[in-house]
A and B are shown apart, each in its own frame.
Chain A
Amino acid sequence: MQAVYHTLRPVYALWQREVIRFFRQRSRVVGVVLTPLVFWLILGLGFGDSFRAVQGQIEVSYLEFFYPGVIVLILLFTSIFSNISLIEDRNEGFFQNVLIAPVTSHGIVGGKILGGVTIALSQSLIFLIFAPFIGFKLNLIVVFLFVVTCVVLSIGLSSLGFIIAWKINSIQGFHAIMNVVLVPLWLLSGAVFPAEGSPVMIQWIIALNPIGYGVDLIKGVLYSAMPGGGIATIAPLSVFITLIFSILLLAFAANVVRVSRNG
């Protein structure tokens, strides 16, 4: 019981700090909502009728096809960027003090990541408002499954951001990793174009990319309330891989902190 309390109190403190900070930075709030919205509208409307993908037996517009990918983009960017402050914070900021506090490394990582997850989830829920306008049907079960999926996926993405921020010593380096690794991972996840019809090598990359299973899971959840949908739209393999991806990265993040702070 005592151990749980010791783990939970820094989680609460760091989570609360993260959320307060986020909502006090207006430009950040506006940026994370507007950027994916603009991205989605420009690409979705731009491709218009020139792009048709098949979802199940039905042809869908690019606006609809791209929608789950934008949700993952929101989760990716928000989760990853919520950790960027760590780069400076742990050497010459707020985190210096946290790292020498008598708390567990799990507590430190848990609080920071839960903060990132909360922000990412609130962004994706705001974006969910647009789903009915492009034909998705929402009900309580879909929203619940959507929340669970976003939480699990953003735990993984936020842990990934945490690990990168911990290992990198400059913000410029972090941006380089974002551009060279993370953005291509998203582009090659089936979020922007379907795997079917791509060169075999691209199909393999998409099949090996864990973020692709996250995109697939969100698609499955959104289509579960559509006619002919149901729970069968959610692929068990996507559930399994997304869970494993998040658990492994969370454990790895906790270990990175434990090793670097002598306990």
Chain B
Amino acid sequence: MISVHNVTYRYAESRVPALSDVTFEVTAGEICGFLAPNGGGKTTLFKILATMLPVQQGRLQYNGEDYQNNFKAIRNTIGVVFQNPSIDKKLTVRENLHCQVYIYGSTPSRESERINELVQLFDLSKYLDQKLETLSGGYQRRVELAKCMLHNPAVILLDEPSTGLDIVSRRDLWRYLKTIRDQRNVTVLVTTHIIDEAEQCDRVIILNEGELVVSGAPSVLKDEIGSEILSLKSEKIASVLSLLQEKWNIEGVQVDGTVRVELQGNRKFINQLLTDHLDIIDSATISKPSLADVFFNHTGNKFDELKEQEQT
């Protein structure tokens, strides 16, 4: 469906490439997430996939069509939801959808039928004649989704679609994305810095500093790490690290003020550690690995989701 081969992109004002030798393939009907911290390259990749930036090096194909030679065909194939709304808030829902119909050139006879179909799908019937500025962020996102689906695209691209949405609206958005995928076999590509969101994808591609770090189904990526992660908070990190090494031959890793241990099924030492050395350990947490752990495992850097959200 979409194949990206050795794509590299460098902005004119920068020495370091924003994307470096990125290669992956996405199959039809897949929800594929691009997870990366700020500056990781996900926005550049999104812009290239959306035909907003040229492919400087490498090759990008949609359905076997070369990107460089076929802008128009590709633009007909994709629907795009931008991070900042591309709807006109002074216009009503109906007017926004009509405008999109004309821009994408649907035949007038199909126009009303298509609008009605999507309005039903996204539960917008009650709001058709309301101005966008009077609707909540969640409903505005639904209009964006309806708008990008009007020309029946085979692929939809979403750039951090949950930004600014509350938890309920975020859940709604994902419900609709899965409906689109299931009912219409639409391929969904979504960039995100939110771990929970990435975990809902069929496949996640993790980027860091413009390079593809790892790619796979979230469950598979997490299983590769092990079943559990032990996080120990302590004021004396160095003491905890050497204790683990000397007494149990366990290698822990310091992440900020925490010692992180991949348990690999070995939990026996925890009781003894907490009983005998509580004086140097403030708290201990055992958790299932998340994609943040996968990111850490492959890059050695902590994926600070909260910091990312604040920056965004």
Contact = CB atoms under 8 A, between A and B. Distances in A.
A97 B90 contact: no
A96 B102 contact: no
Interface stretch (A2-10, A31-39, A46-54, A233-241): A2-10
Interface string A15-27: 0110011001100
A93 B86 contact: yes
Nearest to A88: B84
Interface string B43-59: 00000001111100000
Interface in B24-83: 50-54, 71-73, 75-76, 78, 80, 82-83
B90 A102 contact: no
B75 A17 contact: no
Contacts of B51: 100, 262
B45 to A, nearest CB: 15
Nearest to B75: A102
A9 B105 contact: yes
Contact of B72 (A5, A9, A102): A102
Give the interface size class of chain B.
Answer: 20 to 34
B88 interface: yes
A263 interface: yes
A20 B91 contact: yes
A12 interface: yes
Contacts of A177: none
Most chain A CB within a 10 A radius of its CB, from B73, B84, B148: B84
Contacts of B87: 94
Contact of A263 (B71, B76, B148): B71
Nearest to A23: B90
Contacts of B104: 101-102
Contacts of A12: 102
A22 B138 CA distance: 26
B54 A262 contact: yes
Contact of B102 (A13, A21, A261): A13
Given A97-B147, A99-B52, A92 B103 contact: no
Contacts of A103: 103, 105
13 contacts: A5-B105, A9-B102, A9-B105, A10-B103, A13-B102, A16-B102, A92-B84, A94-B88, A96-B82, A97-B80, A97-B82, A100-B52, A101-B75
Given A10-B103, A93-B84, 18 more contacts: A6-B105, A9-B103, A13-B98, A13-B100, A13-B102, A14-B99, A16-B99, A20-B95, A24-B90, A92-B82, A94-B87, A96-B86, A97-B103, A99-B52, A100-B78, A102-B71, A102-B75, A262-B51
A-B CB proximity, top 5 nearest? A13-B102, A92-B84, A97-B86, A102-B75, A263-B71
